[in-house]
A and B are shown apart, each in its own frame.
Chain A
Amino acid sequence: MSISQKEIQTLARLSRLEFSEEEQEKFIPDFEEIIAFADRINGEVVGDTSSIKEVAARTIAWEDLREDEVTDSLPNEKITSNVEAQDGYFPVRRVVK
């Protein structure tokens, strides 16, 4: 299975990652190897899988869900304690002019 540079770039964009040209060159053979590893399952499941709806192997049954109880949420000052918060907000650089 060969992976083109363009495919890597698309996946990187979807993953919110970026790789330099040099990194990409190193990454492609590694990635091809891991895809080949994953590919071992192909050929084992015969036929069309489109009829399979339940793909979540671990689902929680509806009746297992707890009651929706209102409880105190964590205080703002705790939640923002990992950044230099401004008026209780997470600061980012201005995005709207």
Chain B
Amino acid sequence: MKSTILHLSKMLQSGEITSVQLTEQYISAIEKENPAINAYVNYTFDQARANAIEADKLIKEGRATALTGIPFTLKDNIATDGMLTTCCSKILQGFKPYYDATVWSKLKAQGAVLLGKTNMDEFAMGSTSETSVYGAPLNPIDKTRVTGGSSGGVAAAVCANLAAYGLGSDTGGSIRQPASFCGIVGFKPSYGAVSRYGLIAYGSSLDQIGPMTRSVTDAAIIFDAIKGEDKKDGTSVATPSGETKLIGDVKGLKIGVVEELTDGVNPEILQAVNGVIEAYQKAGAQVVKLSVPALKLALPVYYIIACAEASSNLGRYDGIRYGYRASNYSGLDDMVTKTRSEGFGKEVKKRIMLGTYVLSSGYFDAYYKKACVLRGEVEKQIKECFEKCDFIFAPTVPQTAFPLGYSGGNATETYLSDVCTVPVNIAGLPAISIPCGKDKNGLPIGLQIIGRKYDDERVLNAAYFAEKYGVCEDIQFDGGVKL
């Protein structure tokens, strides 16, 4: 059974199946199939069973919403009260938060069923999920390949139908890139549209939580459930309340195709992306060719800012209040240093060191300050670009899923795969990745639709066109009528 939220919801509300039964089906599937793909790193089946009983009550009382009773998963960096949350790092081994992330509180209130926490790159730092202390998740489509990252576990779980949907986080592409590699839908909302309270911080000015689903309709259902201003996150903003209305009319829309996001992209991927754009044109959309020169610098700007913020955010891991603590040390300072040196993995240490470097006296002006200036320039040029178009269409990733271990040789090689996704985080924009075909090896290709800041609903609508009219046949369409 490979079903969308919408489909399952109809089954639950018609009484065809109960949430308890549905949950047990997912639990058996996870127990059977997860060992082969390593998507989940921690099961929360007791929680799931309790959630399912509550959900069945809500349904019986006629108080259900579209996601009531539907089993899902959270990335391992989203805090769950009393349940392990480790960021897939040794330094947080055994850590049980004492509060819930706002997104989890909101879903729980609507009767969502939490199956477990899923695999990721350690502290979300990576593009393959291979830096996880639990080992890499495997791509269910081809187990010799990576899932992408950093929300690789969520992508694998949704792809293999070990969850109906999941929440990931996206700092430089970590929702969209694994969604692309695993052939699912991944939506990164505008910065501030969804509360980050309870999301373990990596780059606070870039991080955003979002849904990973099997359809655009499902992404809209989950976005509606988690969005909104939150007193506990000062950067969250009020977005238009109420339900996202999916219509899928693209007539008269202007689609921007940006040179810097298509240069050097694998031709097979470009062909798939162009095929979709042509379908939009046939339906009345116009195409505008554009250039955003500042995007050439988006990658180094992103890595400087993200690592600077990470070096500060990860300063809190000292072994005193939670998580791992070194056992042999000579004094308090030595305890902190040994705890961090033993607890963090190689990639995390490298990024902390780079962040410390760009913020240190003598280099601050040359790196961090310049990166912030260029960030402003990237934002400005993108804004100008949106004066000439409504959306930017681009590949999500210039490649399809890498073989496992591919990143081993060159330290910055995999950073380059983020070229189409990081500009979105730099400018705080909404963007969605939808599956738009397969390469000659049968690996999924992702199309990215980027919108103006706070145009989340319009981005979902633009993607919904592809779902509704079968432009992208890999997206599941379930009638599109919301309950």
Contact = CB atoms under 8 A, between A and B. Distances in A.
Interface string A78-94: 11111100000010110
B476 to A, nearest CB: 36
Contacts of A79: 98, 321
A92 B320 contact: yes
5 contacts: A16-B337, A38-B300, A56-B372, A79-B98, A93-B332
B444 to A, nearest CB: 28
Interface string A51-74: 010011110100011100000001
Interface of A: 8, 11-12, 14-19, 27, 30-31, 33-35, 37-42, 44-45, 49-50, 52, 55-58, 60, 64-66, 74, 78-83, 90, 92-93, 95
Given A34-B354, A38-B304, A95-B331, A19 B341 contact: yes
Nearest to A81: B98
Interface of B: 94-96, 98-99, 191, 204-205, 231, 234-235, 297, 299-301, 303-305, 311, 315, 318, 320-323, 329, 331-333, 335-338, 340-341, 344, 349-350, 352-354, 356-358, 360, 365-376, 410-412, 415, 428
A42 to B, nearest CB: 6
Given A15-B353, A49-B370, 14 more contacts: A17-B344, A27-B353, A31-B350, A31-B353, A33-B412, A38-B354, A41-B304, A41-B367, A44-B370, A55-B368, A56-B372, A58-B204, A83-B322, A95-B332
B269 to A, nearest CB: 24
A40 B335 CA distance: 37
A41 B357 contact: no
B341 A40 contact: no
B320 A57 contact: no
A64 B372 contact: no
Given A38-B303, A41-B304, A81 B96 contact: yes
A56 B374 CA distance: 12
Contact of A58 (B205, B321, B333, B368): B205
B358 to A, nearest CB: 7
Contact of A44 (B297, B349, B354): B297
Contacts of B366: 42
Contacts of B340: 15-17
A8 to B, nearest CB: 8
B335 A92 contact: yes
Contact of B376 (A27, A30, A57): A57
A80 B297 CA distance: 44
A81 to B, nearest CB: 6
A8 B368 CA distance: 19
A12 B373 contact: no
Nearest to A53: B369
A93 B375 contact: no
Contact of A57 (B205, B234, B311): B205
Nearest to B416: A37
Contacts of A31: 350, 353-354
B321 A83 contact: yes
Given A14-B360, A81-B96, A50 B341 contact: no
B335 A41 contact: no
Given A16-B337, A18-B337, A82 B234 contact: no
A8 B411 CA distance: 17
Contacts of A35: 354, 357
Contacts of B304: 38, 41
A30 B94 contact: no
Contact of B234 (A19, A27, A60): A60
Q: Would you list the 4 A-B pairs with minimal beta carbon distance, nearest first?
A: A82-B322, A78-B98, A58-B205, A55-B372
Contact of A27 (B318, B350, B370): B350
